[in-house]
Amino acid sequence: MSLQPILMVVVDTEEEFDWSAPLSPRATAVTAMAHVQFGQEVCDHFAIRPVYVIDYPVASQEPGWLPLKGFMQEDRAVIGAHLHPWVNPPFIDLCEPVHSFPGNLPRHLEQEKLAVLTKQIASVMNRMPTIYKAGRYGLGPNTPSVLTELGYEFDLSSAPPYDFSDQGGPDFSDACNHPGPMSAHNNILSLPTTGDYIGLLTHSRPLAHKIYRRIVTHPKLKSLHLPGIFARTRLLDRIRLSPEGHTLDELKRLTLALLDRGLQVFSFSFHSPSLKPGCTPYVRDKKDLQLFLATMHRYFHFFLHELNGIAMTPWEVKKWVEASVSQTSLTPSCR
């Protein structure tokens, strides 16, 4: 069994839309896919094969899927599915924000939409996707059985320690970062999107979550800018392993903290439109893009060289899990 830390890179590969506006079924442009090679080139430099989880606008428009098919055929990347219900047929009048989380859809509709997406990806890639990541991390009670029916083997949707319940979405505040079975009733492997609380006030995840939610991000205290104050004083910070909104130093501190807590598999993620300036809040101009790509490059160097880590695809992680499960617990406690 490898004792090296393991890195997966996951790209939420999707259409462009205004992140500050209500979600619209008419926002289906994929012009940012002409910039996807910028991220791929950074991965290529480190022999990382990223996972592109692609949604319907990308899978149904040639400028969206064609670059990815080339990466896949050259064995430089692997492909999965990413369900954005509001731009994925069949289109049914469920337009409330709560329905943007796929797991909140009626079971038959979640299944039908994912079946359409799966078929579309298979038709352009000549390969059935077996990796799934719900749009907006939107797991629901029916998702495990839907994935099983459609032949999926991996789910990347869990996003500890984030809680989307105020928007009608899932609550991952108690979820683990460790790989583990998605459900006791199927063989799908859950590979969470890595994130956690770090700092002096993280003696336990529930306490950190309570402080962060009730004090640090309380709406009535917004004018005090407490998230920045708590982060700068190293008291409490919530970080996702992503170059979107996080500095290289923050990503390193998160990684070292989670290694100290016993985590071995890390999932680094970002959205494909961030590779085109102006498409997401994280990359507004060319200078932001240069910093974004530099953060990726320096983090990968840190993980793979300074920490002596190794990059894997989900299938390689699954082999590692199968080899290690007899020697240690598959799903260690989240403190």
pLDDT of residue 95: 65
Per-residue pLDDT of 232-269, as tens digits, reads: 777 899 999 999 999 999 999 999 999 999 999 999 99
Could you tell me if 129 and 81 are in contact, meaning their C-beta atoms sit under 8 angstroms apart?
A: yes
pLDDT of residue 206: 74
DSSP label at 81?
A: E
pLDDT average, residue stretch 149-174: 96
- The pair of three-digit structure tokens given for residue 140, joined into one six-digit string: 């629901």
User: Which pLDDT score is estimated for 243?
Assistant: 98
Higher pLDDT, 106 or 224: 106
**What whole-number distance in Å separates Cα of residue 40 and Cα of residue 76?**
8
Under the banding of pLDDT at 50, 70 and 90, the label for residue 1 is very low
Asked if the model's pLDDT at residue 331 lies above 50, the reply is no
Please determine, for residue 204, whether its predicted confidence score (pLDDT) is greater than 80. Answer: no
- Write 178-181 long-range contacts (CB < 8 A, 24+): 178/263, 178/264, 178/265, 178/330, 178/331, 178/332, 178/334, 179/265, 179/317, 179/321, 179/330, 179/331, 180/330, 180/331, 181/330, 181/331
| 332 vs 239, more confident | 239
For residue 79, name the pLDDT band (cuts at 50, 70, 90): very high
**Spatial separation of the C-alpha atoms in residues 83 and 94, rounded to whole Å:** 15
The arithmetic mean of pLDDT across residues 287-308, rounded, is 98
Q: What's the whole-model pTM score?
A: 0.94
| pLDDT of 120 higher than 90 | yes
Task: List the domains of the chain with CATH numbers.
Answer: 6-195+265-324 (3.20.20.370)
Q: What's the rounded mean pLDDT across residues 278-283?
A: 97
Average pLDDT over the chain reads: 92
**What's the average model confidence in pLDDT over 66-79?**
98
pLDDT at position 245: 96
* Band of residue 210 on the pLDDT scale cut at 50, 70, 90: confident
One-letter amino acid of 64: G
What is d(CA 89, CA 84) in angstroms, rounded to the nearest whole number? 10
Look at 187 and 224; give whichever has higher pLDDT.
187
pLDDT at 39 over 90: yes
pLDDT value for 159: 98
Share of the chain above pLDDT 70, in %: 95
Model confidence pLDDT, tens digit, residues 6-27? 999 999 999 999 988 888 899 9
Question: What is the arithmetic mean of pLDDT over 142-158?
Answer: 98
